[in-house]
Amino acid sequence: DSGVTQTPKHLITATGQRVTLRCSPRSGDLSVYWYQQSLDQGLQFLIQYYNGEERAKGNILERFSAQQFPDLHSELNLSSLELGDSALYFCASSVDGSISSYEQYFGPGTRLTVT
Amino acid sequence: AQSVTQLGSHVSVSEGALVLLRCNYSSSVPPYLFWYVQYPNQGLQLLLKYTSAATLVKGINGFEAEFKKSETSFHLTKPSAHMSDAAEYFCAVTRSGGYQKVTFGTGTKLQVIP
């Protein structure tokens, strides 16, 4: 158990809908990262937040957005969902915002299925 | 731009045999390199990382990797495979110096044959 929690574990929704994925980092970790893992694209870094502020951006679509709240939990919002958005979404956390140096702890993921 | 290439999407080894998973990187600046392991239905777990200190890096579960700048490689090895090593392994690269995105390879699935 990494200490990172993600809810829900599974999510099934229809095209065009909007969903919110939630992540609680390990106690004491200030940084949260979001990743998307699909068979087509592999593992893609989406975005990073550090202590409430956006720090790094990867291949995140404009239909997707994220935020980190004062209690350090984070939410990833996916809107106007398409079939291709079906994937595993991972959250990870680390103590520091510098992802070059510090280990990231991954949550178990949320499996999103868009029908 | 940075990238990693993992050679072989599937690798099979016999139990007790050497494990060698290949990773080559491309980076215009000194890289930081990582190997992660993903067991079925789980998130990723860091095996080891290179952050410009020793070029031979030892990780968990008996794995190690050597950073070779001249070959732009960071191959993962383990002297003797165990059944529990069956998983998917990801190589990843980022730049040194603070807040940078991480680029992952496409992964290598390791099968261990009894």
- pLDDT (tens digit per residue) in B33-43: 999 999 988 88
Nearest residue, CB atoms, A56 vs list B43, B96, B100: B100
3-state helix, strand, coil in chain B (%, to 5): 5, 55, 40
B28: left (phi over 0), alpha (psi -120 to 50) or beta: alpha
Instruction: For the beta carbon of residue A30, count every other beta carbon within 10 angstroms.
Output: 16
Q: What is the dihedral of CA B52, B54, B57, B59, to 10 degrees?
A: -90
Q: Cβ B102–A109 below 8 Å, yes or no?
A: no
**Chain A hits for B106, Cβ within 8 Å:** 42
Identify from A43, A95, A110 which residue to disrupt to test chain B contact, counting B C-beta atoms within 10 A and taking the largest count: A43
Identity of residue B78: K
User: Sign of the CA dihedral A88, A92, A97, A102?
Assistant: negative
Which is more confidently placed, A39 or A108?
A108
* pLDDT for residue A99: 56
Give dist(CA B71, CA B90) in Å, integer. Answer: 19
Q: Please give the share of chain B, as a percent, with pLDDT higher than 90.
A: 72
For residue B31, what is the nearest residue in chain A, using CA coordinates? Answer: A100
B42 and chain A in contact, CB less than 8 A:
yes
Is 60 exceeded by the pLDDT of residue A101? no
**Residue B85, SS3?**
helix
Is 70 exceeded by the pLDDT of residue A14? yes
Is 60 exceeded by the pLDDT of residue A100? no
Instruction: For the beta carbon of residue B88, count every other beta carbon within 10 angstroms.
Output: 18
What number is the average pLDDT over the span A4-31?
Answer: 96
Distance from CA of B5 to the nearest CA of A (A): 12
pLDDT in tens, A45-63: 899 999 999 988 888 999 9
Q: How many CA atoms lie within 13 A of B108 on its CB side?
A: 25
* pLDDT for residue B13: 97
* pLDDT for residue B54: 85
**Average pLDDT value for chain B:** 91
Q: How confident is the model at residue B101 (pLDDT cuts 50, 70, 90)?
A: confident
What number is the average pLDDT over the span A10-34?
Answer: 96
B49 and chain A in contact, CB less than 8 A:
yes
Is 60 exceeded by the pLDDT of residue A11? yes
Which is more confidently placed, B78 or A59?
B78
